[in-house]
Amino acid sequence: MLNLAVFISGGGTNLQSLIDSCRSGKLKAEIKAVISNNSKAFGLERARQAGIEAFHISQVVYPDNAVYINTMTKILEDKNIDLIVLAGYMKLLPIDIVRKYSGMIINIHPALLPKYGGKGMYGINVHKAVIDAGDKFSGATVHLVDEKYDQGKILIQRQVPVMADDTPESLAARVLEIEHQILPLAVELFIK
């Protein structure tokens, strides 16, 4: 059984797809902790409703960087985390965590990397950029996290067509459906 920590910043729909996959038995994993940098993230409530421990860890609460990193590390160690899943986590993970868990952190991104990755490319900004560029396809990517934004090895990608009448919001909704499908598949790759 793979022990997961899922990091979120918002509504947690990708978290929900993982919860559902674990509960149905499709995914031989258990979510041991949900961590958010946003105390108002609905994903924290999703976790609590599923009986998963949820933590708000931000530099607002822990302004001392060492305490911030140590708090995060202690949870990951106490829960024997095998894989960290960034599922809509809108903050860079501390480099100490990235190094300590190298090869054991994945991120889902709402575009076909390497296009539309990096600083500022998150949420609706990505979909706006895809439409503005006139791309015929968009999609979602799950990749390993390394020390550079959205640069790690790509594990899974799926594409969706960009329709002529798409708005950033309508494209985002279609890409999100794909995210919900491929995130559990990417976690599966780590199950031995």
DSSP string, 88-133: S--SPPPHHHHHHTTTSEEEEESS-TTTT-STT--THHHHHHHHHH
Residues with catalytic roles: 109
| Local confidence band at 37 (pLDDT 50, 70, 90 cut-offs) | very high
The answer to pTM > 0.85 is: yes
Taking only the tens place, the pLDDT of each residue in 149-186 is: 888 999 999 999 999 999 999 999 999 999 999 999 99
User: What are the distances in angstroms from CA 143 to CA 104, 189, 191?
Assistant: 11, 12, 16
Locate the domains of the chain by residue range. 2-188
Question: Residue 119: is its pLDDT beyond 90?
Answer: no
- Give the pair of three-digit tokens for residue 132: 């503005």
Average pLDDT, the chain: 96
Question: What pLDDT is recorded for position 128?
Answer: 97
Average pLDDT over residues 114-131: 93
Q: Assign domain 2-188 to its CATH superfamily.
A: Formyl transferase, N-terminal domain (3.40.50.170)
Mean pLDDT of 126-145: 97
How far apart, in Å, are the Cα atoms of 66 and each of 54, 74, 90, 143, 174?
21, 12, 20, 27, 40
What would the two tokens of residue 92 be?
A: 């860079």
